[in-house]
Amino acid sequence: MASDSIAPVLAAALLQATLALTVGLALVYALRRPLRRMFGARIAYAAWWLAPACLLAPWLPTPAQAPRVFAFTGDALAAVPALVVSAGAPAGGGTDWRAWLVVAWVAGALAMAALFARRQRRFERRIERRPGQPWDQVRGHGPAVAGLLQPRILLPDDFDQRYSVQEQALVLAHERLHVMRGDVAAQAAASALRCVFWFHPLVHAAASSFRFDQELACDADVLARFPGSRRAYGDAMLKTQLADAGLPIGCHWQSSHPLKERLTMLKQPIPGALRRTSGRMLVALALAAGAFAAWAAQPIQPAATSAKPNIDVQFRISVDGAKALTPRVIVREGEMFLIDLDKPAIRLTATARRAAGGKIGLSGELSRDGKSIGPIDMQLPDGSVPDDSAKLPADVSAGVVLQAGARVLAAGEPGVPVTELHDRAPYLAKITDQDVMTPPTYPKAALSKQLRGKVMIELNVDAAGNVGAVRVISADPPGVFEEAAIAAAKQWHFSANARDANGKRPSGWLRTQIDFSPDGPPAG
C-alpha cells in the first residue's frame, strides 16, 4: 500500500527534525542568559532564531556529489553473487511499527492543536470589539495583542482607572512594539512547533522561556524610548493582572513569567550601541555555525534524477605497448566520473555531454603515476566505438594510448553493467553451506533519508578462506554505504569446498556487489 511506503519516510523525517530542533534549543538555552548579561535582552531574544535555523538547515540541498569512481584491475577475479541488504521489514506482512508511530504522532498533533484552539476561543470570547478605535477591550485580562493576520491591541475594561496617564502611554508603547515586531506571528510559530513536537518536553519548556525573552526584549525597547520612565514602567507591571495559561496566538503581559526577574531587569543599564552590535555579530555567527552543522550532518544524497539521458562510454587504454584494457561506464550526461586503473597506475577524470552535429563531447584529465599527462578533449560520433580516429595526441600521451567511443542510451534502454573488464570475471559456481557471507547492517544515517545504493567490492581471500584486504570498486551514492560493506566483508569466510567455474579454489581476489534498500526483508 502507498501508506506503507510513506510511513517510513515520515517517521525518518520526524526523527531528523526532532534531533535538529533539540540541538537548536540546547544551543539557545546555553546562550540566552550569558547573552542577556553581556549584550542585553534584545540580543538574547534574537538567539531564538537558532532553533528554526537548525530545524530547517537539514532540508537544504546537499552540495554537488563527488564523482563516481570506477576502479579496474588487470588481475583475474572471481565474482560471488550479489547480496541485498535492507533496513528490515516486519515478518509475516505485519504492520510496520513506523506506521503506528506516524499515527500516534498525527493524533497527538491534532489533539494539541484542538487544545490550543479551545484556549484561543475561550480568550476571544472575553473580547469586546470597538470598530473605529485603535484597540479593543478584554474582560478580566490584558493588556495584550491578539490576532495573526490583523493583530489588535487589547486593553482591560478598567484601563483608564487602573493606570496613570504616564503608565497608559508606556503600556500602549509596549503593545505597539509587539505589533511592529511581528511578535504575534512568532508566538503562532512557537505554538505550531508545540503541536508538531507535542511529545517533546523541551519544546514546551522552551515556549515559556521564549515568551519570557520576548517580553524582556519588548521591555528593553520601551525603556530605550522612554529612558526616564523605569519606575512608572515597574508600577505598570505591578498593576497588570496575571494571565492564566499562555495565549497560543498572541502576546500578553506576565503570563507565567516571573515578575521579579522582569522588575530586576528594569534596573540594569541598557547596553550601548557597540555592545549591541557585537552581540548581533555573535548571534549571527552562532546562527551560521549551528545551521551549517545541522546541514553538514545529513547523509550524502544520491544525485537527483533529471531528464538528461545516460551515456555509454567505452575506452581502450594501452600503456607502453602492453595489452589494452577496455573499461566501460554508463553515466548520466554531465556527471563527472573517475576511472582508476590498478596496473598500470592510470587515472582518468572526465564528463560526457551531447554536442552539436550528433556528437558526444568527452572532456577531462588523464594522469599516470600521479602526474598529469594532459587534458582530454574529444568529439565522438554518437554510436562510435574506440578506434584510431578518437585517441589522445601522441605528444601528450606519455606512453599511454587512449581511445574512446560513446553512444547516448535511448529512454528506457537497459544499460550494460557499470563496470566491465577486458576479461570477464568468472563467477563462483558453488557457494557451500559452510561459507559465511552475512549481509552488512543497513546504516541508520541512510535510513533517515530512505536511501538505496550499491557498493561493488573486491576482497582478497587466502587459502584458508579468510578475508584479508577489502577495497571498494564503485559506490552509488558515494560516502554512504562503503563503511558498512567493508566491515561486513572482513568478517566473511569461504569454505575450502568452494570452487570457481573452472573448478579451482577461489583464493585471491573475489568480487561482489551489495545492494542496500531501506525496506523489504534482508536477503542474500
Report the C-alpha gap between 254 and 247 in whole angstroms.
11
Q: 489 Cβ partners below 8 Å, 6+ apart?
A: 440, 457, 459, 467, 470
Q: What is the pLDDT of residue 479?
A: 78
Which range has the top average pLDDT, 168-182, 324-338, 488-502?
168-182
Task: Render pLDDT for 117-140 as a digit per residue (tens, 0 to 9).
Answer: 998 888 888 888 887 778 888 887
Fold of the domain built from segment(s) 78-83+424-517: TolA/TonB C-terminal domain (3.30.2420)
| Angstrom distance (rounded) from CA 287 to CA 282 | 9
**pLDDT tens-digit map of 99-123:** 788 888 999 999 999 999 998 888 8
> Contact, 314 vs 386, CB < 8 A?
yes
What is the predicted pLDDT for the residue at 27?
Answer: 87
Domain boundary assignment for the chain: 2-62+96-296, 78-83+424-517, 310-408
Amino acid at 71: A
pLDDT of residue 413: 59
Mean of pLDDT values over 386-399: 75
For residue 437, what pLDDT is reported?
Answer: 72
Judged by DSSP in three states, 314 sits in strand
Q: At what angle do helices 183-196 and 165-181 cross, to 10 degrees?
A: 60
Q: How far is CA 92 from the centre of its chain?
A: 33
Q: Tell me, what's the pLDDT at 354?
A: 93
0.85 exceeded by pTM: no
Nearest to 290 by CA among 24, 482, 94: 24
Burial status of residue 140 (CB atoms within 10 A of its CB: 0-12, 13-18, 19 or more)? exposed
For the ranges 6-15, 324-333, 400-409, 410-419, the lowest mean pLDDT is seen at 410-419
pLDDT per residue over 223-239, tens digit each?
888 888 888 887 777 77
d(CA 15, CA 21): 10
Most confident of 4-13, 21-30, 293-302, 418-427: 21-30
**The C-alpha cell of 500 is what?**
570457481
For the chain, what percent of residues have pLDDT higher than 90?
Answer: 8
Chain-centre distance of CA 234, in angstroms? 46
pLDDT band at 162 (very low <50, low <70, confident <90, very high): confident
